[in-house]
A and B are shown apart, each in its own frame.
Chain A
Amino acid sequence: MIGRSILFLLLLAGALTLAACGAAGGGSDTSRSEVPAIATPREYEINFLLSPDSIPPIYDPEFVSADKSPLRDDELVIAITLEGRAKAYPISVLRSREMVNDELAGIPILVTW
């Protein structure tokens, strides 16, 4: 989901905290300012906030059949069918784990939120 990742919410929270400090007269800490890296032409700017897999992806998903589902009826899922096979992934889990490496009908798939 664009605009709702944990990192984005962290960034927003950080911005709010900084704004709050500024408003309280906290001032800026110039000793922490960094010289920005010189970007090569057309290089996209990526804001790295955590080390890789700090939000741990699911690499070995486990499944049960619908009759054994622990989900509530109104729980949101992201779901897919491929070649007559169907799988559902709870949004509640994806919100905290963000990524699942899986396969469906022999096709390797990547589920992300």
Chain B
Amino acid sequence: MHDRRIDGKPEVFGNAGGLFMTAMTWYDHSTRSIWSQPWGRAIRGPRTGTELRLLPSQITTWSRWEAEHPETLVMVNGIGGLRMSVAEFRENFVIGLKLEDRAKAYPYPVVKELGVVNDHLGEFPVVVWADEHEYRAYLRLAGDLTLTFEREGEKLRDVETGSVWDAARGIALEGPLAGTLLQQVPNLTAYDWAWFDFYPDSAFFEP
């Protein structure tokens, strides 16, 4: 998911009808430049090289999302397409984190197995969490403090202060950091075999 402003102005994007490597391309309505989806960057036309800001988004089940965000709105256009099961989606996919010019892929089954991964993306300390249904990625920073997370049942606990965190919402529920929010890391998902087409120089998490 991207912020579709260019130089502060909203741009409208359509489907270019072409594949670049293994993924879709867009065109922008103003200049008809062609954009690569996984890069969020124009690869042909007047805007070549321009990049949209990647936003933190999640793929999860409706019941989970509704429980975590009861105020959510849900899009209802074209309901009833090709449903996708959780099991199908979880196969062979990686959570790709992007911060500044760095990218790193975390295989979903590995993160799910470990429960939580404390890692670095360049100089940024990050934490990736996953369970049977969903995943999240955050900067593991609270003020000047770098946190290290451990699983505590369905929740997380940081080693440094002992605070207990809601993993899905990224907020400390109890302890010295209660009320603190973690900042989400922009991310995208890909099949593991397709990730390196687009991010050949990126790191791949191995436990």
Chain A residues close to B by CB (< 8 Å): 1-5, 7-8, 11, 43-66, 69-82, 85-93, 95-103, 107-112
Question: Contacting B75 at CB < 8 Å: which of A45, A53, A100?
Answer: A100
Q: Does B162 contact A (CB under 8 A)?
A: no
Q: What's the minimum C-beta distance from A66 to chain B, rounded to whole angstroms?
A: 5
Contacts of A46 in B (CB 8 A): 16, 18-20, 25, 34, 43-44
A–B complex contacts, Cβ < 8 Å, 20 sampled? A2-B197, A5-B19, A5-B23, A7-B18, A48-B18, A50-B18, A52-B16, A52-B17, A57-B13, A66-B70, A79-B57, A80-B58, A88-B66, A91-B59, A92-B79, A97-B78, A100-B77, A103-B10, A110-B13, A110-B26
Q: In the complex, which residue of chain A has the Cβ closest to the Cβ of B193?
A: A3
Q: Does B173 contact A (CB under 8 A)?
A: no
Q: 19 more A-B contacts (CB under 8 A) besides A73-B63, A80-B58?
A: A1-B189, A2-B37, A2-B189, A8-B24, A46-B18, A49-B17, A50-B17, A54-B15, A55-B17, A64-B74, A66-B70, A70-B79, A77-B74, A79-B59, A80-B56, A88-B74, A92-B80, A96-B82, A100-B75
Q: What's the minimum C-beta distance from B32 to chain A, rounded to whole angstroms?
A: 8
Q: A1-B189, A7-B24, A99-B13 are in contact. Are A76 and B76 (CB under 8 A)?
A: no
Q: A46-B43, A46-B44 are in contact. Are A81 and B69 (CB under 8 A)?
A: yes
**CA gap between A4 and B80 in the complex, in Å:** 19
Contact present for A66 and B4 (CB under 8 Å):
no
